[in-house]
Structure 1
Amino acid sequence: MMRKPAGFERPNARLLADGRRLHLSHGPIDLIIEADGAPAEVTRAYRQAREAFETILHDLVRELPLLRSGNANRPRGTVARRMHEATTPYRPEFITPMAAVAGSVADHVLANLIAGRVLSRAYVNNGGDIALRLNEGVFRVGICDDPVTGAAGGMILVRPDDEIGGVATSGWRGRSHSLGIADAVTVLAPNAAKADAAATMIANKVDLPGSLRIEREPARKLAPDSDLGTRLVTTGVENLTRAEIATALDNGETAATGYLERSLFKAAYLSLAGDRRTLSPASTITQNADHIREEPVCA
């Protein structure tokens, strides 16, 4: 979900204290970027990322009514088109392009970051939704089981030949509203926009429709500009029985399996109340959280 920032302040760019990572922010968009390569190549890459970032928020705000409506018309902006393309495969189920906004922004900045540059590794982290390019080595990140506690429940291990270019996480405890009750659903896909859309859809399906143990409110009551309109979003989940947890995860896994069979993503990790399900190549996601040193990614 994106709100128009007051005053449309200028985009900000700065190197973080470690001297390696670039921080870009503008209104609700907050990116952490890192590129590995020769110093001159990294400097040029960061300049390209800053230039690409300048107009993203303004361009998106111009098309927000269309992006929030779920209208099938194709938007004009580059990032908006990425959002539209990532979410179109899930129609006629309910979805709007806003389901892929964070991943699409990350993909756009990454594409400009690496254009014409010689880099061994690069990533753009947009609040937990990550676009990455890996030419050598391994990319590791801890999976966030619970955005409230920040607990890590697993490990993502990506290698260059895995054809994974995006990681995204969704759930009712995260930054955006969810129709389901998943604590977290993390998805790996060819790009971050596709991962973002798939994570949103799978998280919506981890659910117990009609259960009195789940508190829900109309989305527009919580956020008047929500693309979810009057649909009920999760605001609280009471203690669930083991059978209820299993049923909710079964629902999510069934939906995820269908999306996986259509090649809409590469791997997924579903978490609810300490129970987990994984749809993944054995070497890509592990549920063993022991000795995870990487900071878990929470959306």
Structure 2
Amino acid sequence: MAAERTPLDGGRWHWQHGPIDIVAQAEGEASAVQQAHEEAWQRFRGVLDELVGELRVLRQPVSAALPLSGPVAQRMWRASAAASQACGSPFITPMAAVAGSVAQELIAFYQRPGIARAWINNGGDIALHLAPGQSARVGVFSDLARFDPLRDTGPLDTDGQFEIRAKTPVRGIATSGWRGRSFSLGIADSVTVLAATAAQADAAATLIANAVDVQDPGIRRLPASQCKDDSDLGDIPVTVDVAALAPMQVQHALAAGVLRAQALQRAGLLWSAALACQGQWRVVQPLCSLAPGTEEDRARSLAGDAVGSVFA
């Protein structure tokens, strides 16, 4: 199957090759935007074959250095290995960062004079380019199943919105959860992470979503291999259904996720995060935005009660 590209409204492009599904958009001088789109497309055409060639290794745990040669594969391993180490080395493979790493590879073609803003949306994992003085607003959905970037082009009914400014050290956004297109070990409806790069955000979102978890008979799990023959998770149980849980159970699950997010934040691998589960939210704020106070005050701020908006 060859890579395909289709123009969309608003100057966007849809690029698809196998499981890789990209929406690309850029603003700026017409000639610069056109050149960036064409160069990014040419790079996109070869990404899937590169990854398939190293897929056997990419499905291995990151507990040891892996012999990877492609730039996207190496970025996947670096992001996943660093995130795992920061969290005490829970199980993760480089595939945890595949969508963000591909988006990050393509956004590099837009980081040039003449382009004010650009974004590569790879199934909800986003890499950004913002020239000085520019900003972008991003919406958050708690239910990953109800957002389609190809269909939803008008005003969106989001659960929250936030603004990323060029001076903010955030160029990657990723969301993970058991309702998404990838498997999760936890019960989070969604975990949205803002990080310095899309690869870092992707790995962090995966690990945090895995940590949002409790033991409850209302949670149904199956071995990943039964859900998908070639899953990198093998026989590890993944979440396939979550019944309505007691509010206290949801609180415990979210608290576990917040602890993992804080570990990633201390390691410099996460700027901020929003965790959603069955109508409850927790926000891990940027450290620089926290008011002075005791460690207990800061912990309460990071893992406080449910909030009505995601980012202020």
* TM-score, length-scaled by structure 1: 0.88
Q: Distance in 1 between matches of 2:244 and 2:32?
A: 52
Q: 3-state DSSP class of the match of 2:43?
A: helix
Aligned-residue offset at 1:63: 0.2
Q: 2:167 aligns with which of 138, 141, 161?
A: 161
Match of 1:82 among 62, 75, 81: 75
- Given the alignment of the two structures, is residue 200 of structure 1 paired with residue 206 of structure 2, yes or no? yes
1:222-237 equivalences under 5 Å are 222-237=227-242
Say which SS state the counterpart of residue 161 (structure 1) adopts: coil
Q: Secondary structure at the match of 1:94?
A: coil
Q: In the alignment, which residue of structure 1 is the partner of 2:43?
A: 52
Q: Which amino acid is 1:152 matched to?
A: T
**Number of the residue aligned with 1:69:** 60
Per-residue CA deviations over 1:85-142 (Å, capped at 9, x if unaligned) read: 101111432110000000000000111233x442111110001000001113321111
Change in Cα spacing, 1:107 to 1:216, as seen in structure 2 (3 Å) is same
Tell me the residue number matched to 2:114.
118
Structure 2 unpaired stretches of 5+: 148-156, 291-305
The Cα of 1:163 is off from its aligned counterpart by 1.1
Q: CA deviation at 1:14?
A: 2.7
Q: Select 1:181's aligned residue among 171, 180, 187.
A: 187
Paired residues of 2:261 and 2:270 also in contact (CA < 8 A): no
Paired amino acid for 1:50: W
Q: Which amino acid aligns with 1:64?
A: L
Return the match for 1:30 from 21, 25, 28.
21
2:134 alignment counterpart: 137
Residue-pair matches, total: 277
- Displacement after TM superposition at 1:289 (Å): 5.2
Structure 1 contact 154–287 (Cα < 8 Å) conserved:
no
In the alignment, structure 1 residue 243 sits paired with structure 2 residue 248 = yes
User: For the residues of structure 1 that align with 2:249 and 2:99, how far apart are their CA atoms?
Assistant: 31
2:2 maps to 1:10: yes
1:48 & 1:113 partners in 2: Cα distance?
A: 9
Q: What is the aligned partner in structure 2 of residue 293 from structure 1?
A: none
Q: Please show how residues 92-107 of structure 1 align to structure 2 within 5 Å.
A: 92-107=89-104
User: 1:254: Cα distance to partner?
Assistant: 1.1
Shift of 1:69: 1.4
Q: Is residue 110–residue 129 contact of structure 2 (8 Å, CA) maintained in 1?
A: no
The C-alpha deviation readout for 1:179-213, integer Å capped at 9, x for no partner, is 000000000001100000000000000000x3212
CA–CA separation in structure 2 for the residues paired with 1:16 and 1:200: 30
- Cα deviation for residue 155 of structure 1 reads 1.2
Seq. identity, %: 42
C-alpha distance in structure 2 between counterparts of 1:38 and 1:112, whole Å: 14
Write the deviation string for residues 152-177 of structure 1: whole angstroms up to 9, x where unpaired: 32112100111101000000000000
Q: Provide TM-score, normalisation by structure 2.
A: 0.85
Does 1:258 find its partner at 2:263? Answer: yes
Question: Residue in 1 aligned with 2:33?
Answer: 42
Q: 2:217 corresponds to which residue?
A: 212
Structure 1 spans left out of the alignment, 5+ residues: 1-8, 291-299
Distance 1:140 1:113 in 2: 18
With a CA cutoff of 8 Å and minimum separation of 6, indicate the structure with the bigger relative contact order: 1
- The alpha-carbon distance between structure 1 residues 17 and 157, as it changes in their structure 2 partners (threshold 3 A), is closer
